[in-house]
């Protein structure tokens, strides 16, 4: 068993349809699964995270779930957002299993607890044992019970970041982090891909970054870059690539080519 | 917030169809949800567990998942059994939410870890916070990662038993445990309901108990009674009732009437 990990995030906007709520992109999910399968080697293991896209974000926006227990409808909203987050996870899980990836789902609402939107506790015994037996943990953006707010929402990136921190402490090495979205990396204000973001040029670049164009309660591209820079500083290079382009994911797993934006410390 | 709990188990054979694999009983699930809702009071909170019935038990039997990592197909089996366990959970979760119960699902594979089929660690921060904000935790029979075997399976009863132990240590009081199945309690060798089982008469009664008639990898009635007796000795009375009879669950929640078999220490 290797203790070297590649973390892969599949964006919600990539695996679901922005304009059709509760509609996934099964062909895209299948292709990504096959690229991951094809790239598989005994040199490292994967942890895969996905976003919720047009599944949970609608209820999450309606009930303001990220803010926690704010009114009488909040609890109902919480149940619905969890349901919707699980729905897209079930789709990804089934397509991945059919592609012969032995994935196991770990819903973050069951193993992470927060306090005022910061991590309070995390439990990873089952996830590390899954890695030990060569199963692939599948996590996702989910509701998170929160000590102060009642509950909140953590994005797929945030979940990966906290898992990376926990697993690093347990002796795992994060070799590479790959974020697949629907853009050719991070765009500047003119719509051109920024090849590299570092702590040095981030403050300048930040001005041109915007939130997500779709209904994304977790903050869109600005949030994604911020989490990525944090992960790059703590663990390893983060590659932001276009998952809609065939073989981008495969190539990024198997080589160090930068096909989009490289976020590096 | 009260720290008094009623634990309810909905048997897999009650909520799914024995003769039709992967078919649930939505009317039964809905009626049970409405009985639970109707009985709701501010005196106690619920934790609800359900079995998998004809959903996960088929793959679990085929791949011998309870035994762990035994051959090259075991990992694929593990993914499939988890999928099937989640499938019936999604159905129960959705019907319960529609009945205005604010349930949150906590898949045990994410918060329990075992060693040679015994509990190794359990994480309940999100579950206790769910109780604090008045959401109803929903757990179920699931695959469990296992230190020695790779993985195994824990029944809904076993999950409830471990949760009860953990929550007791956190100051919760278990007021009552209700097991809903498809028989009028526990039958003796002549098919008559045994009104009361205690540690004193259990060894005599044990002889007449059998495993489940359907494909139940977790052990059927004999297992159910053993777990129940253990819970009765540690926490409180266990009522084994027929969940197919209207109002049995409602009456058992709201009164101390014994409508089936009472398991008491």
HEC-encoded secondary structure of chain A: CCCEEEEEEECHHHHECCCCCCCECHHHHHHHHHHHHHHCCCCCEEEEEECCCCCHHHHHHHCCHHHCCCCCCHHHHHHHHHHHHHHHHHHHHHHHHHCCCCEEECCHHHHEEEECCEEEEECCHHHHHHHHCCCEEEEECEEEEECCCEEEEECHHHHHHHHHHHHHHCCCEEEEEEEEECCCCCECCCCCECCEECCCCHHHHHCCCCCCCCCCCCCHHHHHHHHHHHHHHHCCCEEEEECCCCCHHHHHHHCCCCCCEEECC
Q: Residue A80's closest chain B neighbor by CA?
A: B97
CB contact under 8 A, A113 and B129: yes
Indicate which of B89, B98, B100, B123 best probes the interface with A, i.e. most A CBs within 10 Å of its own CB. Answer: B123
Q: Which of B72, B79, B112, B143 to mutate to test the interface with A (most CBs of A within 10 A)?
A: B79
The ipTM (two decimal places) reads: 0.95
Note whether A126 contacts B109, CB cutoff 8 Å.
Answer: yes
pTM, rounded to two decimals: 0.95
CB B82 within 8 A of CB B109: yes
Q: Which residues 84-113 on chain A approach chain B with CB closer than 8 angstroms?
A: 86-87, 90, 93-94, 97, 100, 102-107, 109-113
Q: Is B146 on the interface with A (CB under 8 A)?
A: yes
Q: Do B87 and A83 touch (CB under 8 A)?
A: no
User: Do A128 and A167 form a contact (C-beta atoms < 8 A)?
Assistant: yes
Per-residue pLDDT of chain B (265 residues; tens, 9 = 90+): 679 999 999 999 999 998 899 999 999 999 999 999 999 998 999 999 999 999 999 999 999 999 999 999 999 999 999 999 999 999 999 999 999 999 999 999 999 999 999 999 999 999 999 999 999 999 999 999 999 999 999 999 999 999 999 999 999 999 999 999 999 999 988 889 999 999 999 988 887 776 554 556 666 788 888 889 999 999 999 999 999 999 999 999 999 999 999 999 9
Q: How far apart are CA B126 and CA B68, in angstroms?
A: 28
Confirm or reject contact between B151 and chain A (CB < 8 A): yes
Compare all CA atoms of chain B with the CA of A110 and give the residue at the minimum distance: B106
Mutation target for B interface from A73, A125, A131, A166: give the one with most B CBs within 10 A. Answer: A125
d(CA A88, CA A85): 6
């Amino acid at each position: 068993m290797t203790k070297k990990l590649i973390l892969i995030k599949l964006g919600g906007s990539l695996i679901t349809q922005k304009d059709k709520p509760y509609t996934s992109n099964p062909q895209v999910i299948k292709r990504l699964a096959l690229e991951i399968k094809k790239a598989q080697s005994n040199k490292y293991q994967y942890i895969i995270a996905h976003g919720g896209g047009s599944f949970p974000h609608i209820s999450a926006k309606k009930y303001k779930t990220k803010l926690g227990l704010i009114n009488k409808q909040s609890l109902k909203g919480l149940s619905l957002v969890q349901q919707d987050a699980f729905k897209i996870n079930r789709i990804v899980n089934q397509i991945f299993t059919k592609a012969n990836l032995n994935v196991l789902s770990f819903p973050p609402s069951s193993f992470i607890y927060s306090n005022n939107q910061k991590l309070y506790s995390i439990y990873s015994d089952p996830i590390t044992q899954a890695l030990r037996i060569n199963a692939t943990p599948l996590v996702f953006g989910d509701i998170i019970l929160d000590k102060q707010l009642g509950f909140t929402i953590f994005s797929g990136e945030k979940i990966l970041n906290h898992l990376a921190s926990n697993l690093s402490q347990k002796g795992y090495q994060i070799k590479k982090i790959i974020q697949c979205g629907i853009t050719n990396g991070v765009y500047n204000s003119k719509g051109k891909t920024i090849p590299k973001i570092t702590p040095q040029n981030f403050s300048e670049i930040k001005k041109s970054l915007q939130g997500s164009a779709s209904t994304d309660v977790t903050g869109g591209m600005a949030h994604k870059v911020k989490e990525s820079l944090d992960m790059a500083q703590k663990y390893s290079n983060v590659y932001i690539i276009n998952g809609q382009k065939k073989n981008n994911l495969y190539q990024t797993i198997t080589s160090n080519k930068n096909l989009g934006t490289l976020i590096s410390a």
